């Protein structure tokens, strides 16, 4: 099915939705993006995603050529134009087309692109039985080099980690930071359950501040579960009672094996299942 793609205020059929090969989004990965979800025609946590988009843009000195409120409207319009009830939305803002050379000041017209499409989640079997992941040798980028809090078009760090995981037979990979602490997975945040508490790396570990992560922390607090954002080691992961990942595309997905170690009983645990249900209710609210 051909989608209607939003580019700078207009809709184009998928086949005709094009931007310049001189765009620095393509030439240098110079730009920012968001991945969002629609549930029953409503975009989940739209304002939070738009806020993060503008913060990412600010961090890279990219002026988005429209107000945040208008961007929210544009996302909703794109969802409607594609009659998308349940699906995934990709919002991209590039630096715009410029000359061959890094200088962003020579770029004009940042391109605002919105795609609303279906989503291919992990297979249901992985939600039922849990994922196996591996720690990879590719470190999460040093926050002083390029902050992982910026959701930029430059995802090579994550792609290299993903490739290493895939070669080891795992669809998701665990990345450590420059200090050897647990950071996050290539497209998901990580949580552990230990002694009835929920543990997750803090933002200072050099991670993306996931919208799903925030939502799950809220769910845990509602459930009366203590949440600790604290530095974690691989050892903490290995001895956890439960482990799960969160992300817009993945939602909440249990992890039952890490680096060949069985986590907890080897089956998705009760706290994970409870938080999965609570998160689902939030998306359907
Ligand atoms: N970490 C990384 C590196 C990501 O790319 C993502 C989003 N795919 C996440 C975490 C999860 O963030 P969110 O819950 O906002 O989708």
pLDDT in tens, 10-38: 999 999 999 999 999 999 999 999 999 99
Region 40-66: what's the mean pLDDT? 97
Given this model, what pLDDT does residue 183 score? Answer: 98
Half-sphere exposure of residue 167: CA atoms within 13 angstroms, side-chain side? 9
Q: Does residue 98's CB lie within 6 angstroms of at least one atom of ligand 1?
A: no
Pocket of ligand 1 contains residue 173 by CB under 6 Å: no
Output the residue whose Cα is nearest ligand 1's atom 7: 187
List, in order of start, the domains of the chain with CATH numbers.
4-117 (3.30.470.10), 124-284 (3.20.10.10)
Substitution site in 208, 244, 245 for ligand 1 pocket (most atoms within 8 Å of beta carbon): 208
**Phi, psi angle pair for 150, to nearest 5°:** -85, 120
- Find the 210 Cα to ligand 1 centroid distance in Å: 5
Mean pLDDT of 225-234: 98
Confidence (pLDDT) at 162: 98
Q: Which of 117-131, 197-211, 269-283 has the lowest mean pLDDT?
A: 117-131
R_g of the chain computed on alpha carbons: 19
**Which residue of the set 151, 162, 167, 257 is catalytic?**
151
Give pLDDT tens digits for 80-128. Answer: 999 999 999 999 999 999 999 999 999 989 999 999 999 887 999 999 9
- Confidence check: pLDDT of 277 > 80: yes
**Digit-coded pLDDT (tens) for 148-199:** 999 999 999 999 999 999 999 999 999 999 999 999 999 999 999 999 999 9
Over 90: is that where the pLDDT of 285 sits? no
Does ligand 1 come within 6 angstroms of the Cβ of 247? yes
248 in contact with ligand 1, CB cutoff 6 A: yes
Tokens describing residue 161 = 């980690």
> Pocket of ligand 1, candidates 35, 138, 189: which has the most ligand atoms within 8 Å of its Cβ, to mutate?
189
pLDDT at 1: 75
Is the Cβ–Cβ distance between 99 and 109 less than 8 Å? no
Cα atoms in the 13 Å half-sphere on the side-chain side of 200: 24
- d(CA 42, CA 37) in angstroms, rounded, equals 8
The answer to whether the CB of 87 is under 6 A from ligand 1 is no
Query: Could you tell me where the DSSP H helices lie in the chain?
Result: 24-28, 46-59, 68-81, 124-129, 156-167, 211-222, 234-238, 270-284
**Which pLDDT does position 121 carry in this prediction?**
78
Both tokens assigned to 117: 């499409």
pLDDT, position 212: 98
**Which tops the pLDDT comparison, 251 or 1?**
251
The yes-or-no answer on residue 10 being catalytic is: no
Burial label for 61, CB within 10 Å (0-12, 13-18, 19+), is exposed
DSSP for 40-90, please give it.
TTEETTHHHHHHHHHHHHHHTT---SS-HHHHHHHHHHHHHHTT-SSEEEE
Residue carrying structure tokens 């700078």: 8
């Amino acid at each position: 099915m051909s989608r209607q793609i939003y580019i700078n205020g207009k809709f184009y059929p998928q086949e005709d939705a094009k931007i310049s090969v001189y765009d620095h989004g393509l030439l240098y990965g110079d730009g920012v993006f968001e991945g969002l979800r629609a549930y029953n025609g409503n975009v989940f946590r739209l304002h939070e995603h738009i806020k993060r988009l503008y913060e990412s843009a600010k961090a890279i000195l990219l002026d988005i050529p429209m107000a945040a409120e208008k961007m929210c409207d544009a996302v909703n319009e794109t969802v409607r134009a594609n009659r998308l009830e349940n699906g995934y939305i990709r919002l991209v803002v590039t630096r715009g087309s410029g000359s061959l050379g890094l200088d962003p000041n020579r770029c004009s017209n940042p391109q605002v692109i919105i795609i609303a499409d279906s989503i291919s989640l992990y297979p249901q079997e992985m939600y039922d039985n849990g994922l196996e992941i591996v720690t990879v040798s590719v470190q999460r980028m040093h926050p002083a080099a390029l902050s992982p809090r910026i959701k930029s078009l430059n995802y090579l760090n994550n792609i290299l980690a993903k490739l290493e995981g895939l070669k080891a037979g795992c669809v998701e990979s665990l990345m450590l930071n420059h200090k050897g602490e647990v950071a996050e997975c290539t497209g998901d945040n990580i949580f552990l359950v230990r002694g009835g508490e929920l543990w997750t790396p803090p933002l200072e570990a050099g991670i993306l501040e996931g919208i799903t992560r925030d939502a799950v922390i809220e769910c845990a607090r509602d459930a009366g579960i203590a949440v600790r954002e604290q530095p974690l080691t691989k050892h903490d992961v290995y001895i956890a009672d439960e482990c799960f990942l969160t992300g817009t595309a993945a939602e909440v997905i249990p992890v039952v094996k890490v680096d060949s170690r069985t986590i907890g009983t080897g089956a998705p645990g009760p706290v994970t299942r409870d938080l999965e249900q609570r998160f689902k209710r939030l998306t359907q609210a």
